[in-house]
A and B are shown apart, each in its own frame.
Chain A
Amino acid sequence: MRTLRVSSFGIRGFVGESLAPKVLIDFASAFATFAEGRRVLIGRDTRYSSPMIHSAVVSGLLSAGCEVIDFGICPTPIVQFSVVPMKAAGALSISGGHNPMGWNALTLIGSDGSLLSPLGGENVLDVFHAGDFRKEDWQHMGTVLNASDFTAPYFDALEKHIHVDAIRKAGFTVLIDPVGGAGCSFLEPFAARFGFSLVPINAQPSGYLAREAEPRPRSALQMASIIQRLGGHVGFVLSSDMGRMSLVTEDGEPASEEYTFAVIADHVLGRRAGTIVANCCTTRAIDDIARRRNSTVVKTPVGQAYVVSALMDEQGILGGEGSGSVALPGFSRAFDGFLMMALVLEAMAEKGKPLSEMIRGLPHYHIVKRRVLCDSRKGYRALEVLRGRLEKRGDGHADLTDGIRVDWEDGWVHARVSQTEQMIRVISEARNRAVAEQRAEETSRVIEQEV
């Protein structure tokens, strides 16, 4: 059985195995207990299991007396954005995100619109483990209301952070592939607002995934093969929840998902220097860009909750991850696909350069990602062994912020137990492709011997 992953900001599992109605109701009840039966927003994506999870979760919220505002099919970042204006105690988002078919997850969102902090999340987990849920009697059952008019305030706010006129004037043709997920019906209003001509791909809402949901070059091949013929200026490849994105250039090259954050960071820091926040396995291009722009980088463990929380603590101006995610603190506390698309279009419009040229101007590294299948118990032991080996290899200093990272002058290797699947993820980056490949290979081999 593929295990259930329970963390302080949500629960993730495989439908038909671990992700079953009772554990979902328990988790929703624990969250409702934490939210003290007040107003809670809920949204979901289009995966086949999402309506079932939605029913289970709403039932748990109602039994605790929550006032549920139902967003129906809605991208996670829009749900997150709406928490503060709607004065909700929190929100829940149901989405398979970047995971393959069969996986789904329930994400917990706090009253500030960010993923639940480790502290708040631990409170929810305590209630979950104790099974002592808030339960209202028949006279105080919760209510469900369909959310209305939440799209306009969201795009209004986004427009305030973007030079829409510049984008409008540029007259872009933009390919967007939301993988049949939560973003589908939001693309047209987005295009109308930001003044570009939209070519939707895989934009019929569906639980069937026409491609891998994880935005990266491999899943961008469909788009890359047609973008030139369609005269597209840029292509955006998104996850089911609209939280992650990778780019396709106008000449049909799928860019590594690492470039999403890099392109945007170079653009934002170019206007104003400041602190940016990245996780500990994001491309070193980010560090180089920051240095070039007289800015500093704060590193955190992997995950939106950590990045956004540091972004607030450090008063950073931008945060993101190499998996293709960016958050802008003045706008919202979410990794947000619409924000990322708007910022990339703005960068292209203001610089008047094609995307391929912008990417060529960025520091260039080769990044290699490997996965070693193993169950999590063996995984943590393997990392301990790896730590001993690697510390002797690199510059003698292993970073243990999240998993293990070792740096060399020309690159780094990072290994970490996946929080979503039964595997260890190995990332190796270096200026030279062969070196990056070789270090990834050596690291994977050490782990494989252990597991």
Chain B
Amino acid sequence: MKEALKVGVSGVRGVVGDSFTPQVAASFAQAFGTFVGRGAVVVARDTRPSGAMIERAVVAGLQSVGCKPILAGVVPSPTALILTKALGARGGIVITASHNPSPWNALKFVERTGLFLSETRAQELFDIYHQQDFPLVPESDIPAAAVETEPMETHFQRVLDYVNADLIRKKSFKVAVDCCNGVGALHTVPFLERLLGCKVVPVFDKPSGFFEREPEPLPENLRQLCETVVKEKCDLGFAQDPDGDRLAIVNEKGEPIGEDLTLAFAIQQVLSHHSQGPVAINLCTSRSVELAARQCGSEVVRTKIGEINVCETMLKIGAVVGGENIGGVIIPAIHPCRDSYAGMAIVLEHLAMSGKTVSELRAAIPRFFLVKDKIRIRGEQAPVILRALRQEFAGEKMNLLDGVYIDFGESWVHVRRSNTEPVIRITAESPSQDEARRLVSGTRAKVESAI
């Protein structure tokens, strides 16, 4: 086996044809069906070529323990979460490896509340899985699968109910969209054209699962989108990841503004025109996002990294908007999940109400410089390194929710262990690029001396 199966809070991931087999998928579906109890379970997938194979294994697994699969088909992850809650289903299984490369696929598990499983709930599920003793139902109790014929309706209606769609339609924005050959290739053009009155120029819009660019919507992966914005004289460009939960923006000059800024725009618009209230963002989100929220008079709470962690904090403190630095906009009034469709609508509303261009809006937000680095380690070295850093920075303002986060006022540095690779990630941000670089290299030296 080249790549081991990865079982963690974000679900079960593996390489298809290697560790991620239909047997594994069926067993996890049985464990999940046992976990949530007999009843309806939403099954959704992204465009990966292995999705159809895994979907069948999941369906069989669910039926064998008496759960009725509701097939949502190829839809964005946020749509599956919204559908699970709206249908009153027992839970949901989303078949997507999100921004991982094509060879990967994964199962992600959804609570009846429409949230992904929390860490403790995920542990309970894995406990059931490892016992491999699933209560199978007799033949006469096997439920037939059902197909959800209008899976997008509830999701899109929620978004339209939240924003001022008439105002957006009046502007007839011209938008370039990079769907990354993912779920957006099926749903984003109709969303923007039919529902929000945009003129759309799509890029990578074959829903093939063969990703023609790197799947993360990072600035360096969006060259084709940037060129299209310039050539077609678009008002802006949107880039999605393969399962449609993350969103990055390209300005009218064809420059990516960075995924952090998607969140800043959304926060400004929600706080100024929808509702006032606290904001939750993860630890490594840019200080510029935090400042954008504070300018609107909101309290900002930092959370652990990971969608479910941000969502749980948001629900606890009653946050009105928030998200993750990777372009994950969360507006709980629509649904507590990362949602690129909510993101697109709120950003277009921001443009429509302000009458400004993307670059003008960007200029009004303080600029910070982010520098990232990573060091390959052996797994067992991580706690040693983090302990050493805690001692080194003992006098500083520290947040230990997720690794070590040191707050120097205008600058910060964050050191954490990756959930997916044997590496230590160092991230620093500062109003000065030199200062950010200095923070990273200084911290790197401290990590290396600890090894």
Contact = CB atoms under 8 A, between A and B. Distances in A.
Interface string B1-40: 0000000000000011110011101110110000000000
B183 interface: no
B2 to A, nearest CB: 10
A75 interface: no
A164 interface: no
A70 to B, nearest CB: 11
A20 B30 CA distance: 10
Interface string A16-45: 110011101110010000000000000000
A135 B18 contact: yes
A59 B50 CA distance: 10
B128 interface: no
Contacts of B105: 138
B49 A56 contact: no
B251 interface: no
B98 interface: no
A55 interface: yes
Contacts of B142: 15, 48-49, 51-52
Interface string A122-148: 000000000001011111111010000
Interface in B124-140: 134, 136-140
A56 B53 contact: no
B26 A135 contact: no
B21 to A, nearest CB: 6
B139 A102 contact: yes
A302 interface: no
Contact of B64 (A21, A101, A144, A207): A21
Contacts of B134: 20
Contact of B49 (A20, A60, A139): A139
Interface in B78-96: none
Nearest to A18: B136
Interface stretch (B54-62, B238-246, B286-294): B54-62
B49 A25 contact: no
Interface string B94-117: 000000001101000000000000
Interface string A60-86: 101100000000000000000000000
B301 interface: no
A405 to B, nearest CB: 34
Contacts of A47: 139
A346 B136 CA distance: 47
12 contacts: A16-B141, A21-B27, A22-B23, A60-B57, A63-B16, A63-B17, A102-B140, A135-B18, A137-B16, A138-B49, A139-B102, A142-B53
Given A55-B59, A62-B53, 14 more contacts: A16-B141, A22-B23, A22-B27, A24-B60, A25-B22, A55-B57, A56-B22, A56-B60, A59-B56, A62-B22, A63-B21, A101-B139, A102-B138, A137-B103
